[in-house]
Structure 1
Amino acid sequence: MPTDSILSVRDLEVSFPVRGRRPRRYVRAVTDVNLDIRPGETLGLVGESGCGKTTLGSSVMRVRPEATGTISYRDSRNRLLDALNLARTDERVYQREVRMVFQDPHSSLNPRMTLRDIISEPLRMLTDLAEPEIDHRVRDITERVGLDVSHLRRYPHAFSGGQRQRVSIARALAPGPRLVVADEAVSALDTSVRSQILNLLQDLQDEMGLTYLFVSHDLSVVEHVCDRVAVMYLGRIVEIAPTTELFSNPRHPYTEALISSVPVPDPRLRGSRERVRLTGEVPDPSKPPSGCPFNPRCRHATGLCATEVPAPRPLGEGRTVACHHAEDLRLAGITGDPPPHTDRDR
C-alpha cells in the first residue's frame, strides 16, 4: 500500500451466481480493480448504470462477502487494516472511521425514529461516549449540517428531501469518520438542493479533514467536486486521472463518450461539440466479450482489442489507462477539441 494513501484496493473481484442456471453461471460485477485514495481528496467513481460502481463502494463498506482481493485501510493510529479480513477488535474502528451516505434520503432513514435517535445511534454502537457527550456531539453535528437543533424530536417525514439528506450526512459523520463513501448522494435531489448539498459536503471536508469516495453517474457533478476520477466499464477501471486532465484530455474512448454526453451550459455553444454515440448495448456481464470489454462498442477497436484484455498502465503524470491504443488516439475533451499529444504522454 502506498504510504500516501488512506485506502488501497488491489485485485478486487466480486461475483454473483445467476439464479436458476444449471450449470451455475456467475456475473463478475467487479474485476481486477486497483485504486488508491489519498487523505483529504475526493476520488470520483463514474460509469454507466450497472458498471459496478455501487458494488465497489459497498465492498469498501464490507457488505459484500463475495469480494476477494485486498482492501487496505490506514487507520487514525497509522495501522494497516485488511478490510476484508478484520479482526474482531478492529471492526468497530473500521465502522467508525469509514462511513457511507446513501442515495435515497427517504428509505435510508428509519421513519419510526426521531432525528436525535437516528444521529445518536452510531455513537452508541461505535463509541464509548457517555450520554452527555453523545448529546453534545448530536447537537454539534446537527448544526454543522445546517439543521435546527430544535427539530431533533421530529421524525423524518416532517422534512424535505434535502433536509433528510442532511440528516443522513449527520448520521454518517457523527462518529468522526476519516473516509466517507458517498453513493449517488445527490442524484435523488432537485437541482437547486443538489448544489446546496454538494457545497455542504465540501465545507465539511475542509472543516473535518474528510476523504471522499464519490460514486456518481453525473459527470457535471464529478467535474465540480472531485480531485481525481476513476472511470468504470463492465466492472473494470478503464482510466484514472486528475479531474482537469481527464475532462480536457481523455485517453480512453469510453471516457470520451461519457464526457461528450455532459450538457453544455451556455446555450450559444450547444451543438458545437460532437456527441460520441456508442453503438449497441452494454454487454451481458455473465457473458463478457473476449479481449477488451469495450471493444464491441469502440470505434477505434482493432483485432488486438478483440483478443487481449488491456492491462492498466501509467500514461503521463497521475494517469492510468487500460487501452491498447491510448498513446496513439486523439480524443475530444470537454471543449470538443482533441488536444495534441506530447512526448511526455508516451
Structure 2
Amino acid sequence: MPDDMEMGDERTVLLTRDLSVRFPVRRGPGSRVTGHVRAVEGVNLRIERRETLGLVGESGCGKTTLGSSVLRPRDEATGQVLYRSADGRVLDVTALRGEDLATYRREVRMVFQDPHASLNPRLTLLEIIGEPLRVLLGLSGTELEDRAAEMLRRVGLRPGHLRRYPHAFSGGERQRVSIARTLVPGPRLVVADEAVSALDVSVRSQILNLLQDLQDELGLTYLFISHDLSVVQHLCDRVAVMYLGRIVELSGTDELYARPRHPYTEALISAVPVPDPRRRGSRERIRLAGDVPDPADPPAGCPFHTRCRYATERCVTEEPPLREVAPGRLVACHHAEDLRLAGAG
C-alpha cells in the first residue's frame, strides 16, 4: 500500500503520477511492433474532494484514454494512479485485487457520452439501475427496488417508471437514467466523459444543473471530460488543458478564461461563442494552422510548436516542462511569463 504522504493532505481523492499510455503500432509480417501511439504522456493530476476538475482538448488529444485509465489503468499504461478510499486508505489502482478492487468499483464510476448506446434496450429501468446494486452491493428484492426508485427520484424521474424500457424516454431522460445507474451504489468520484455532448442544447443546461445539485447533495467529486469550453466554464472549479497526450495548462477556471497562459488555451477560448449579441465579432477567432501531429510520431521540442504563432527556435528544439508560473497555475510553455494572451473578456 502506498504511503499517505504521496497523496498530500486528506482533501486529495485521486492522484496520477507520470501516467502514460502507449498503444503499439503493428505492421508487416508477424504483426511486428514498429512504434507506439502516445495517447497519454507523463500526466500528473491531483483531484480534490468535492471539486470538479475539467479536462479539455480537441478530439484525439487523449482525454478519454486518460479518463478510462483513472477507472482502471490499461495494460499499456505506466506510472501510478493513487486513490484515497472512503475509509482513508490510499490504494494503488494498478495493483488492486479482491475486496480492494470491489471497493474501487463502487466508489469510482463513469457517466458515458451516449445515453442511447449505453443503456441496454432489452432491460427495464429497474434492471438497469438495479444491476450495480446487485453486483456491487449484493442487494435484491424489495431493498434493491426501493434503492433504485429513490435514485430515480433524485435524478428527476418518477419511481413509477422503473418497469419501462429506455425507448420510452427522451435523450435527456435517458441520460438521467445513466446518471442514476452510475450513482446508485454510492460513489465518491465520478468520471463524466462528454456527458452532455450528445444532448440538445436546450437539455444540456438541465443535466449540468442536475450534476451540480447531486454534487452538493451527495458530496461527489467529478472529473469532467469535454471538448466544449463553455460547458466546462459553467461546471468546473479547475481546468486541465490537454494537447497531444500532455497537460499543457492547469488552472482555476476563472483565471484560465480571463487570462490563458498557453497559446493552445488561447485558441480554444477564442472559439467559445459570445452570448451577448452586441459583443459578437469583438473577439478574434484564432484558427490553428495545420493538423494535430501524429501521436505515433510527435514533433521534437514543444508538441504545439508546429501550430503555434508564437513559436521560437527554442520551442522547436526543447520541450517545455509543466511548471508553476503563479500560485495554482501550471503551464508547459517557455514564454508563459512574456506572452499577453487574449481571454474570454
- Please list every run of 5 or more consecutive structure 2 residues that lacks an aligned counterpart in the other structure: 1-6
Q: Alignment partner for residue 188 of structure 1, among 182, 198, 210?
A: 198
- Aligned mates of 1:324, 1:140 — CA distance in 2: 52
Q: Alignment partner for residue 83 of structure 1, among 82, 90, 93?
A: 93
Give the letter for the 1:26 counterpart.
Answer: H
Are 1:15 and 2:22 counterparts?
A: yes
Is the CA contact (8 Å cut-off) linking 2:106 and 2:186 kept in structure 1? yes
Cα deviation per residue 1:258-299 (whole Å; 9 max; x = unaligned)?
000101111111111111111111001111000110011111
Q: Shift of residue 330 of structure 1?
A: 0.6
- Please list every run of 5 or more consecutive structure 1 residues that lacks an aligned counterpart in the other structure: 336-346
- Aligned mates of 1:124, 1:23 — CA distance in 2: 42
For residue 34 of structure 1, what is the aligned residue in structure 2?
44
Q: How is 1:36-75 mapped onto 2 (pairs within 5 angstroms)?
A: 36-62=46-72, 64-75=74-85
Between 1:120-129 and 1:186-195, the stretch displaced more is 120-129
Q: Shift of residue 18 of structure 1?
A: 2.0
Q: Alignment partner for residue 253 of structure 2, among 223, 227, 243?
A: 243
Q: How is 1:152-231 mapped onto 2 (pairs within 5 angstroms)?
A: 152-231=162-241
For residue 298 of structure 1, what is the aligned residue in structure 2?
308
Cα deviation per residue 1:126-181 (whole Å; 9 max; x = unaligned)?
11335332222111100000111111111111111111100000000000000000
Q: Alignment partner for residue 279 of structure 1, among 289, 292, 297?
A: 289
Is the CA contact (8 Å cut-off) linking 2:25 and 2:33 kept in structure 1? no
Give the letter for the 1:163 counterpart.
Answer: E
Q: Shift of residue 227 of structure 1?
A: 0.3
- Aligned mates of 1:63, 1:306 — CA distance in 2: 32
- Aligned mates of 1:19, 1:158 — CA distance in 2: 44
Give the letter for the 2:279 counterpart.
Answer: L
- Aligned mates of 1:31, 1:73 — CA distance in 2: 20
Aligned-partner SS, 1:110: coil
Aligned-partner SS, 2:202: helix
Aligned-partner SS, 1:315: strand
Give the letter for the 1:16 counterpart.
Answer: F
User: What TM-score comes out, normalization by structure 2 length?
Assistant: 0.95
Aligned-partner SS, 2:326: coil
Q: Shift of residue 23 of structure 1?
A: 5.2
The structure 1 segments of at least 4 consecutive aligned residues displaced by more than 6 Å after TM superposition are none
Cα deviation per residue 1:103-132 (whole Å; 9 max; x = unaligned)?
000110111111000001001111133533
For residue 6 of structure 1, what is the aligned residue in structure 2?
13
Q: Shift of residue 24 of structure 1?
A: 1.7
Give the letter for the 1:91 counterpart.
Answer: L
Give the letter for the 1:7 counterpart.
Answer: L
Is the CA contact (8 Å cut-off) linking 2:26 and 2:33 kept in structure 1? no
Are 1:113 and 2:123 counterparts?
A: yes
Q: Shift of residue 62 of structure 1?
A: 0.9
Q: Shift of residue 195 of structure 1?
A: 0.7
Between 1:22-31 and 1:51-60, the stretch displaced more is 22-31
Is the CA contact (8 Å cut-off) linking 2:24 and 2:33 kept in structure 1? no
- Aligned mates of 1:322, 1:68 — CA distance in 2: 21
Give the letter for the 1:265 counterpart.
Answer: P
For residue 4 of structure 2, what is the aligned residue in structure 1?
none
Give the letter for the 2:224 counterpart.
Answer: F
- Aligned mates of 2:265, 2:257 — CA distance in 1: 9
- Aligned mates of 1:62, 1:155 — CA distance in 2: 30
- Aligned mates of 1:71, 1:63 — CA distance in 2: 8
User: What TM-score comes out, normalization by structure 1 length?
Assistant: 0.95
Higher relative strand content: 2
- Aligned mates of 2:76, 2:146 — CA distance in 1: 39
- Aligned mates of 2:288, 2:24 — CA distance in 1: 29
Question: Cα RMSD over matched residues?
Answer: 1.1
Q: Shift of residue 92 of structure 1?
A: 0.6
Give the letter for the 2:280 counterpart.
Answer: R
For residue 342 of structure 1, what is the aligned residue in structure 2?
none
